[in-house]
A and B are shown apart, each in its own frame.
Chain A
Amino acid sequence: MKQIAIYGKGGIGKSSTASNVAAACADEGYKVTIIGCDPKSDSSITLLRGERIPTVMELMQQGYEISEEDVVFEGYKGVKCVEVGGPEPGIGCAGRGIIVAIKMLQKKSSVMEDSDLIIYDVPGDIVCGGFAAPIRKGLVNDTYVLTSGEYMPLYAANNICKGFARLGNNLNGVICNSRNAENEETIVKAFAQELGSELLAFIPKDPIVQTCERAGYSVIEKQPDSEIAGVYRKLARAIMGRESSCKPRPLTDARLRELTG
């Protein structure tokens, strides 16, 4: 079983990538689970035709005894979707929410044993202990970093790799979600190599992604014959077949600036 997490700067396209990879793997007959760890709880929305599902934390807050069927919902081609949920911006502690929800799932849910692929969609940078919970509780064995070729997303990706190094976690690959930056593929490829890893996929910027998401679908479901659907499929296969990983060697800030300059 593959248990993966995709990390990267907020807004870089983690959820889009995660849900398209999930859909592509489901197309190939894999049993897939996606666990959204963002308090916004929008990781699985494009697998559920734009519908929102009750989140683990919201049910807990309302004082329910939660069982698996209350929080696990089947989306596109049987992909199992779970949203951890969490507080509104500016209050409470979303990180603790992830810890509590993941412990609950471990105890009460069989989807975590019954899948070929589990994707943890974790928000932005790993800003506190809770956001690293899936990794630290040993639930993630493969980690990927998503970035564009611009300085800030690369800076965030590099920083995340520092976190992996500290937690003793390996990096399985770098994915580039293009923002149409200059020399983007070359830059991200070099970044990946200097980390000791490699660039697994270059996802071109394509308005189809936006159109599909607005309608509540993944590209795989709504535009299966599009070129970009092909890119996601290729990435999905790369992830499922991926065996190698590395201890990431984070770059210095000066080197990062040089790369993007």
Chain B
Amino acid sequence: MSPVPLKKEPMIIHPRPSSIVAALYTLRDLDVDVVILHGPPGCSFKHARLLEEDGLRVVTTALDESGFVFGGHDKLVKLLEKVIEKFDPKSIGIVGTCASMIIGEELHEAVLEVNPDVPVIEVEVHAGYPNNTKGVIITLESALAAGILSEEEFQRQKILLEEATEVEKRHGAASKEYLEPSRGDVKYTVAKRIIELLKEGKKGLTILNAKKETGYMFADINVAVNQVAKELGSTSEIINMANLDENLGLDRVRSHARNINRDLKKMGIKVHEIIGGLDEYPVAGKVVNRLIAEKYSDFDFAVITGVPHAIPMDNLQGMEVISVTNGPRQVLPLKEMGHEYVVVEIDLHPKTLGVSSIIESEFGATLRKLAQEERT
């Protein structure tokens, strides 16, 4: 039998999300205290810093030319000992980098030598995988091996990640060879259109399909639509859908759902349909699709926030679709899917780190301000 060629993927020429960074975020989601990046000091700098905002300490063995040549085992041992002494962590992650993996560093040897009495998750990863979900899967495999993740949750995550990869290939950043970044439609114009629809009493859906902590800001837009409708005395029926199931996913992800639900309740905003957990953004679209067919097919418009390209267009065809993303490279694919308006919340993700309640978005603020001006 001759070997089977892999499915031809489009040649993608812009940099892709890093599997090393994906490993870091996954370790954060697993509530690991300290992560050691075994590699050059500049590797994953920006994300390492951002994650410190979120309470995860990230340190590096800072391999230099001589480290590449002579190996970094001793540096890793030393840093592991220092981390234990300095931070007294309850769990530690060690994450590989391109440099350390190419020269064949064995993370496990350092762990054996130091023999810490807290769990250590060793992640042999580099940034050479075309899909960063690979970095998540490798991390979860190690977490499973270290006994801090159940087999059941591992299998669940694996399915979600495979689906996430498919979503990106279908309509996401991995769908085209090169995607021109775009700021999308002007927020003022789109906010005006939403206000028009509300004044006309059109029936609207707001769909929050957010990825984990990004929900803290995306939810603000769903909130704003509801608040503005009320303020304008709109007769529009508004149905809110959100992937805010509090009983799905890793503990950290569940706590985000709880926090957002708590805030929504405080603001008097009802979530009519729970469409999944905050890590189910790749599959929640199927639930949305079914719900629309069953109950909401006569609605006039939909405001979709978070990962709008994961919501199938099948049953949205008759509606005016307004989507809000945080990816400037997501604008073109969303327009091609048939969304009338696409708004970009630039730099949303960094603002949602280290946060535990809903925070104001630019688009939400624009909507509120315009509605206020309408009234006066």
| Minimum C-beta distance from B125 to chain A (A) | 12
Report if A208 contacts B (CB, 8 A). no
Beta-carbon contact of B103 and A136 below 8 Å: no
Asked if A64 contacts B103 (CB within 8 A), the reply is: no
A220, CB-defined interface residue at 8 Å: no
B5 interfacial contact with A, CB 8 Å: yes
Once A63-B6, A99-B104, A128-B104 are accepted as A-B contacts, the answer to whether A136 and B109 lie under 8 Å apart by CB is: yes
Does B1 contact A65, Cβ atoms closer than 8 Å? Answer: no
- State whether B103 touches A65 (Cβ < 8 A): no
Q: Tell me the minimal C-beta distance from A227 to chain B in angstroms.
A: 41
Report Cα–Cα, A132/B106, bound state, in Å.
Answer: 10
**A65 and B104 form a contact (CB under 8 A):** no
Asked, given contacts A65-B6, A136-B109, whether A70 binds B1 with beta carbons under 8 Å apart, the answer is yes
Note all chain B residues with C-beta closer than 8 A to A95.
102-104
Nearest A residue to B126 via CB reads A96
Q: Mark B1-42, 1 if CB is under 8 A from A, else 0.
A: 111111000000000000000000000000000000000000
Residues of B within 8 A of A (CB-CB), count: 14
Contact of A130 among B2, B5, B104 (CB under 8 A): B104
Chain B's nearest CB lies how many Å from the CB of A134?
11
Q: In the complex, what's the smallest C-beta–C-beta distance from A93 to chain B, in angstroms?
A: 6
Report the separation of the CA atoms of residues A22 and B103 in the bound assembly, to the nearest whole angstrom. 30
Contacts of A129 in B (CB 8 A): 71, 103-106
Q: Does A113 contact B (CB under 8 A)?
A: no
- Find out whether the CB atom of B103 lies under 8 angstroms from the CB atom of A128: yes
Q: Is A157 an interface residue (CB 8 A)?
A: no
15 example contacts (A-B, Cβ-Cβ < 8 A) are as follows A63-B5, A65-B4, A65-B6, A66-B3, A67-B3, A69-B1, A70-B1, A95-B104, A99-B101, A129-B71, A129-B104, A130-B104, A132-B104, A136-B104, A137-B106
Q: Which residues of B contact A (CB under 8 A)?
A: 1-6, 71, 101-106, 109
Nearest first, the 3 A-B pairs at minimum CB distance are: A129-B104, A64-B3, A70-B3
Q: Which residues does A use to contact B, with CB under 8 Å?
A: 54, 59, 62-67, 69-70, 93, 95-96, 99, 128-133, 136-137
